[in-house]
Chain A
Amino acid sequence: MSAAEPTTRAPGSPGAGAVAAPGAGHGWSGTGRFFRSELRLIFGRRRNQAGMAVLAAFPVIIAIATRIDPPTGGGGEADFFASITGNGFFVALAALSVEIGLFLPVAVAAIAGDSVAGEANLGTLRYLLTVPVSRNRLLAVKYAAIVVFALAVTLLVAVVGLVAGLVLFGGGPVTLLSGNQVGFGEGLLRLLAVCGYLTVGLSALGALGLFVSTLTEQPMGAIIANTILVVASQVLNAIPQLDWLHPYLLTHYWLNFAELLRDPVAFEALRPGLLSAAAYIVIFISAAWARFAGRDVTS
């Protein structure tokens, strides 16, 4: 970790400012400043920026590779890839469908794992708690920042994919899975809805990750545990003999985002995924609250 990396709140940043001004942590303005400071921490870290650059590189690689070696159209291409040559719009969908399998969840798992354990490890957690920021508010801000990060990386992949696709292949009316076409504007709306749905799924992972992060003071441990949970969920979901278990898995409903690309959209098909995510969020945020508010902060 280089000294230049903004690993923690710099003097004068709002989080540190709360130390200097007792009472500033009360009320919404204090929380708002804490939240902004948290976002600056997440998006300002070099390692997080490097990770986001990797996430953004994938759609570009997909677009260029498809441009150089277009699919022959004989079938057998991975989903959405066959449609890329006709419409650059599909680079965004192809990139999302590839990255939701591993890269996006791992990125969220890393941020969530680091959120509380990272502060504890650096010894900044007790300072945060000595200023009048209640533990509940601290957890709320940490979780809100994770959700914002999940939305940001999902949109990042979609927007980079869209731009790369439009530059290399051009746009036009979007062919849906059902075989009919909608205008480019409605296509964009549907892409936005896909990003929203994926963010809900990733937020459920963020809740689980936040809970794991309150269990330990070792951020690497929490990050690795979160990553293993994601990969284990994906692997179990791929074993057909365990189909009784699949509806309970965190990642099971994520690919249902394709429902938004049918015509007409069957919104009831999205309900199980949203309910499952809500259940994960309720259980693990309350577990994180039980663990964090009750534990002794020693570092």
Chain B
Amino acid sequence: MSVFHTRPALRWLVPTGAALAIVGGGAAVGTFASAAEPSLPERSAAQLLVDLQTAQLDGLSGTVITRADLGLPSLPLPSGAGAARLASLVSGTHTLRVWYAGPDQTRVALLDTLGETDVIRNGSDVWFWDSQANEARHSTLSDSEPGRPAGAAALPSTPQEAADRALAAIDPSTRVSVGRSTSVAGRDAYELVLEPRDEGSLVGQLRFAIDAAEHVPLRFQVIPRGTRQPAFELAFTHVDFDRPDPVQFTFNPPPGTRVIEEPAGPEPRPGKDHPEPTVVGEGWTTVLVGRLPDDNRPGAGGPDDAGTPKPGDGLRGLLDRLPAVSGAWGSGRLLTGTLFSVLVTDDGRVLAGAVTPERLYTVAQQVR
């Protein structure tokens, strides 16, 4: 204390030191956590693949962060309907909480700042709850249906699902290797790396961090070709392998909620009046070729139209803002992201794929 009395200026060392310790300490913890490489017994890629497929998961609960930076121009996405809110996972950072106690007991909650959207499956009952609309949708799955609720978007909501889909894509066009072991959500993990061999693919690597003890994927990253920064990431920040309490899967719509019963069986999808897109090529460089509806009415989407109306000045207005391109194949507009390209030709064809624009031009010349 006496030093501080005689030299008051020295007092400023205390707040300065505290600030440096807190800011620097926080940064250092982050750096060390990511640099720390746990020493794990060697495991080959093939062994890891078998581990993934044979993992016996009794149950888990945890928090998942998704980060997406697809390099797209920021488009005005419709907000409001719960399904659209789930689809908003394609941009920005989101937090999900997941509970899993077997394939027929799952719950995924997408957290908003002051709200929550839940998809709960318990046996054959599927509930979709949207706290901000104060609305619950109920549907019943028949036994034959493989259980994905109708409202859920076509995006993986757990690293396990992402892994299953990617494993289905493994074929001779993919190089599989084991990366450096890592630490995710405080658990040691192996990293499995899938690399498309085809240079025409925009996907550089798919990386899975696989829990060393439970063989469950903890993190999934998509890294575009030529960068190191993931364009899409799905990772546990907190995970617990105890079987969750069954009460997590029971949902009773609270009084005052609008409850909507959805008819059983596959939903008749709106906006299906145009033909299915054709598929050109296979594996990583698959290109979908579709056709724009003739009347470019506002709200008519591309080949991935899920019936969500798009605001703004219609599709044409949106297209006109994209850069114009032309070549031997004709001319059109090009949308490029870090992971995929979409080409809309002036004669109304739509080509899309996780490929370079050059590949789209080639396909556009072949397929008329």
A: residues with CB less than 8 A from B are 73, 75-76, 79-80, 82-83, 85-86, 97, 173, 175, 177-181, 240, 243, 255-256, 258, 262, 264, 266, 268-269, 279, 282-284, 286-287, 289-290, 293-294
Known contacts A177-B131, A258-B114, A283-B22; A290/B63 CB under 8 A: no
Nearest A residue (CB) for B93: A243
Q: B255 is contacted by which of A75, A86, A243, A256 (Cβ under 8 Å)?
A: A86
Interface CB pairs A-B, < 8 A, 13: A73-B134, A83-B256, A86-B256, A177-B116, A243-B93, A255-B114, A258-B113, A262-B116, A266-B97, A268-B63, A279-B22, A287-B15, A289-B14
Collect the chain B residues with CB atoms within 8 Å of residue A258's CB: 113-115
In the assembly, what is the distance between CA of A283 and CA of B19, in Å? 6
Interface residues of B (CB under 8 A from A): 4, 8-9, 11-12, 14-15, 18-19, 22, 63, 80, 92-93, 95, 97, 109, 111, 113-116, 118, 127, 129, 131-136, 238, 248, 251-258
CB distance from A296 to the nearest CB of B (A): 10
Contact yes or no, A286 B15, CB < 8 A? yes
Is the Cβ of A290 less than 8 Å from the Cβ of B258?
no
Closest 5 CB pairs of A and B: A294-B8, A290-B11, A79-B114, A287-B15, A75-B133
Closest to B134 in A: A82
- Chain B: CB-nearest residue to A86: B256
Cross-chain contact A97 with B114 (CB below 8 angstroms): yes
> Assuming A79-B132, A289-B11, is B18 touching A283 (CB within 8 A)?
yes
**16 more CB-based (< 8 A) A-B contacts, given A177-B114, A290-B8:** A75-B132, A75-B134, A86-B255, A97-B114, A178-B116, A178-B131, A179-B116, A181-B252, A255-B114, A256-B113, A262-B111, A283-B18, A289-B15, A290-B11, A293-B11, A294-B8
User: Complex formed: what's the CA distance from A82 to B114 in Å?
Assistant: 12
Q: In the bound complex, what is the Cα–Cα distance between A25 and B126 (angstroms)?
A: 67
**Contacts known (A75-B133, A79-B114, A82-B132); A268 close to B238, Cβ less than 8 A:** yes
What residues of B have a CB within 8 angstroms of the CB of A179 in the complex?
Answer: 116, 118, 127, 129, 131, 136, 251, 253-254, 257
Report the minimum CB–CB distance from B134 to chain A (whole Å). 5
A175 touches B115 (CB 8 A): no
**A255–B115 CA distance with the chains assembled, in angstroms:** 11
The residue of chain A having its C-beta at the shortest distance from the C-beta of B111 within the complex is: A262
How close is B90's CB to chain A, nearest CB, in angstroms?
A: 15
Instruction: State the Cβ distance, B148 to closest chain A Cβ, in Å.
Output: 20
User: Taking the nearest CB of chain B, how far is it from the CB of A177, in angstroms?
Assistant: 4
Give the CA-CA distance A83 to B177 in the complex, in Å: 52
Cα distance, A73 to B136, chains bound together (Å)? 13
Contact among B15, B129, B254 for A284, CB-based, below 8 A: B15
Kindly report which residue of chain A lies nearest to residue B9, judged by CB atoms.
A294
Contact A286 B18 (CB under 8 A): yes
User: By the criterion CB–CB under 8 Å, are B14 and A286 in contact?
Assistant: yes
Question: Can you name the residue of chain A whose Cβ is closest to the Cβ of B97?
Answer: A266
Point out the residues of chain A lying under 8 angstroms from B127, CB to CB: 179
B95, B114, B257 — which one has the most chain A CB atoms within 10 A of its CB? B114
Taken together as a complex, chains A and B put the C-alpha atoms of A179 and B111 apart, in Å, by 13
Report B-chain residues with C-beta under 8 Å of the C-beta of A294. 8-9, 11-12
Q: Is the CB of A73 within 8 A of B254?
A: no
How far, in whole Å, are A264 and B111 apart by their CA atoms in the complex? 13
| B256 A290 Cβ-Cβ under 8 A | no
Given contacts A80-B114, A262-B116, A287-B15, contact A175 B8 (CB under 8 A): no
CA distance A86 to B63 in the complex (A): 31
Nearest CB to that of A279 among chain B residues? B22
B252 touches A180 (CB 8 A): yes
Chain B positions within 8 Å of A262 at CB level? 97, 109, 111, 116
Instruction: Determine whether the beta carbon of A178 is less than 8 Å from that of B254.
Output: no
B22 and A282 contact, CB distance less than 8 A: yes
